[in-house]
Structure 1
Amino acid sequence: MTAQGVNSAGSLSGRVAVVTGASSGIGEATAERLAEMGARVAVLARRSQRLDSLVGRVEEAGGQAMAIALDVTDAAAVQDAADRVASHFGDVDVLVNNAGVMLPAPIEERAVDQWQQQVDLNITGLMNVIGAFTPQLVKAAQERGVADLINMSSIAAQNIFPNFAVYSGTKAFVTHLSRHLRVELGPKNVRVAALEPGIVGTELQSHVTDEGTLQWLADSKEGGMEWLTPQDIADVVGFLAALPPRVNLQQVTIMPTAQPS
C-alpha cells in the first residue's frame, strides 16, 4: 500500500468492502467487481442461498468473501454484522449501501404498506448500516489514508416521475444525506458519494405493480432504449473506490444514453 493509502491505479488490494443488497442486481455485480479488483468483500442481504453462491463464485475466481444473511431494517443484526466483518477481515474501508426497494403507485391509492416498506428499507435500513459501519470507516481512513462510503440513490432524487413520489422522496433523502456526510466525514479522510442511476435492468422492476409504470418500462424497451446493466454501475463503484485519496466525486449521475430524463 502506498503512502497515500491506496495501491496502484485500479487496485483495491488490502481493502475491506461491505456491499448490502448483494443477493442480486447491482449489489451482486458490485461485490464481484470489488473482489476482482482485490478487495476482501462481505456481502449482506436476506437471501442466504444467493449470498453463498456469490461467495462461491468470488472464491473460485481467487478472491475472498464472506456472507451474512440479514435484514438491514434490523439495527441489532446490522451491528452484529459490522462486528463480525471487523473480526474476520478487519475494519471496513469501502461501504456500498445498495439495499433498497422501488414500489411506485399513485398517491391517491394510499398504498400505505408500500410507503412504509420503502421508507423502512431505503431510509431506515440505510441509516442502520451507516451507523454501524461509520466508526470502522473513520478508523480505517485514519490508519490507511482513505475510506469510501458509497450510497446508491437514483435519478428519481432529481427528476420528476409520475407515481414515484414516495420512492423519489426516499432517494432525495439519500442524495442530500450523502452531501452532508461528505462535509462531516471528508476531513476524516472518508469520501462520500451518491450514485444516481437511471433505468438499470434489475429485480427492482419485478416488484412493480403499478400499471402505468409497467407500461412506461415496457414502452422504453420496445422503443429501443438500451438500459444500463448492473455491471455498468459496479464498474463506476470500483472506479470511485480506486481514485487517489484526494479525489471525491460526491454525486454521480449515470444514465442510459437514450433515456431523456
Structure 2
Amino acid sequence: MSYDLNNRTAVVTGAASGIGAEIALVLARSGAKVALLARRADRLTELADKITAEGGRALAVAADVTGDLTEAVETVHTAFGRVDLVVNNAGVMLANPIDAGRDDEWDRMIDTNLKGLLNVTKAFTADLVEAGATGTADLVNISSIAAHLTFPNYAVYTATKAAVTHLSANLRTELGPKGVRVTNIEPGLVHSELPDHIDNPEVSAHLAQWREDVPPLNPADIGDVVGFATSRPKQVNLRQLIVLPTVQV
C-alpha cells in the first residue's frame, strides 16, 4: 500500500532487512526520497536498487548508529538535502538470564536500542525543527510491546524498549511545540532477524514455540503503519501505536 509522501525526505535506520527494509519500501513507494542507514552495505545497495527499479529514489548509506554519524549526515544532505522524516528502527534483541552476567549483550542492546536512537535523533533534530516550522516533520521510533511486559531472560531488552517508549513521550513535549510530530510504534511478534541473534538454545526454543502458537506479523504490516502515520495531515500526530497479531493477547 502507498500513501501521499511526495516531496518528503526520509531516513530509515536498520534498513538492511526486516521491518526497516519494509518501512523504506513503503515510504519510497509513497513518493518520499529515502536514505537507507545500516551497517550491511551490500544489503542496502540491493534495497536501493530495488527502489530505483520501481521508479523511486533511495540512497544507501553504510553507517553504525552507535558511532559518529557526521559523514552519514553529510552524505544524506548532499544527495537529498534537508530531512523531514526520521525512522529510528535499528535495534537488537538478545536474551539470557540476568545471572548469566552477559554485560557484552547488555552493552550492545543499550548502545543500539537507546544510544543509537539518540545519536540519530541528535543528528537530524535541526532538520526536523526547520522542516516543522513551515511544513510536516516526523520522528518515528520503533519500540516494542515488550516495553509494557515482563519476560524471563529478556529483562535488559524490555528495559531498553521501555526507555524508548518513555523517551518518545518526552521528546514530543520538546519537539511537538516546534512542529515536529513524534510517533512511538510498539509492534508485537513480527517475522524478523531478531531471534537469530539469541545464543541461548533454551531461550531460542521457547521463542520458536511461541511464534508457532502466535503467527507473527509481517514486516510489511509495520511499514504500512509507518506510512499511514506519517501521511496524516500536519496537525494530526498519532503519538502511540501498538500493533499486535490478532491472536497475541
TM-score range with shorter-chain normalisation? over 0.9
Match among 31, 48, 56 for residue 41 of structure 2: 48
Q: Quick one: which amino acid aligns to residue 161 of structure 1?
A: F
Q: Quick one: which amino acid aligns to residue 198 of structure 2?
A: V
Q: Which residue of 2 aligns with 1:26?
A: 19
Following superposition, the deviation at residue 189 of structure 1 comes to 0.9
Q: Tell me the distance in 2 between the aligned counterparts of 1:233 and 1:216.
A: 24
Q: How does 1:67-82 map to 2 (within 5 A)?
A: 67-74=60-67, 76=68, 78-82=69-73
Q: Quick one: which amino acid aligns to residue 243 of structure 2?
A: I
Following superposition, the deviation at residue 120 of structure 1 comes to 0.8
Q: Tell me the distance in 2 between the aligned counterparts of 1:220 and 1:198.
A: 12
Q: Which residue of 2 aligns with 1:217?
A: 207
Q: Which residue of 2 aligns with 1:4?
A: none
Q: How does 1:117-156 map to 2 (within 5 A)?
A: 117-143=108-134, 145-156=135-146
Secondary structure of the corresponding residue to residue 237 of structure 2: coil
Q: Quick one: which amino acid aligns to residue 137 of structure 1?
A: L
State the Cα deviation string for residues 1-46 of structure 1 (Å, max 9, x = none): xxxxxxxx93000000000000000001110110000000000000
Worse-superposed segment, 58-67 or 157-166: 157-166
Q: Quick one: which amino acid aligns to residue 248 of structure 2?
A: Q
Q: Tell me the distance in 2 between the aligned counterparts of 1:137 and 1:195.
A: 19
Q: Which residue of 2 aligns with 1:244?
A: 233
Q: How does 1:153-164 map to 2 (within 5 A)?
A: 153-164=143-154
Secondary structure of the corresponding residue to residue 191 of structure 1: strand
Match among 191, 198, 216 for residue 201 of structure 1: 191
Q: Quick one: which amino acid aligns to residue 24 of structure 1?
A: S
Q: How does 1:11-22 map to 2 (within 5 A)?
A: 11-22=4-15
Following superposition, the deviation at residue 81 of structure 1 comes to 1.4
Asked if 1:226 corresponds to 2:226, the answer is: no
Q: Tell me the distance in 1 between the aligned counterparts of 2:243 and 2:191.
A: 13
Q: Which residue of 2 aligns with 1:3?
A: none
Following superposition, the deviation at residue 212 of structure 1 comes to 3.9
Q: Tell me the distance in 2 between the aligned counterparts of 1:31 and 1:207.
A: 23
Q: Which residue of 2 aligns with 1:109?
A: 100
State the Cα deviation string for residues 113-135 of structure 1 (Å, max 9, x = none): 00111011111111110100111
Match among 144, 163, 168 for residue 178 of structure 1: 168
Gaps of 5+ in 1: 1-8
Q: Which residue of 2 aligns with 1:188?
A: 178
Q: Quick one: which amino acid aligns to residue 147 of structure 1?
A: A
Q: Which residue of 2 aligns with 1:60?
A: 53
Q: Classify 1:125/1:255 alpha carbon distance in 2 versus 1 (closer, same or farther; 3 Å).
A: same
Q: Is the 8 A contact 2:189 2:211 kept in 1?
A: no
Following superposition, the deviation at residue 216 of structure 1 comes to 2.5
Q: Tell me the distance in 1 between the aligned counterparts of 2:3 and 2:62.
A: 29
State the Cα deviation string for residues 131-183 of structure 1 (Å, max 9, x = none): 0011101111123x210000010011111111111011111111001000111
Q: Tell me the distance in 2 between the aligned counterparts of 1:221 and 1:160.
A: 17
Gaps of 5+ in 2: none
Q: Quick one: which amino acid aligns to residue 203 of structure 1?
A: E
Output the TM-score relative to the length of structure 2: 0.97
Match among 81, 84, 88 for residue 93 of structure 1: 84
Q: Tell me the distance in 1 between the aligned counterparts of 2:221 and 2:131.
A: 27
Secondary structure of the corresponding residue to residue 32 of structure 1: helix
**Percent identity over paired residues:** 50
Following superposition, the deviation at residue 244 of structure 1 comes to 0.8
Q: Tell me the distance in 2 between the aligned counterparts of 1:19 and 1:127.
A: 14
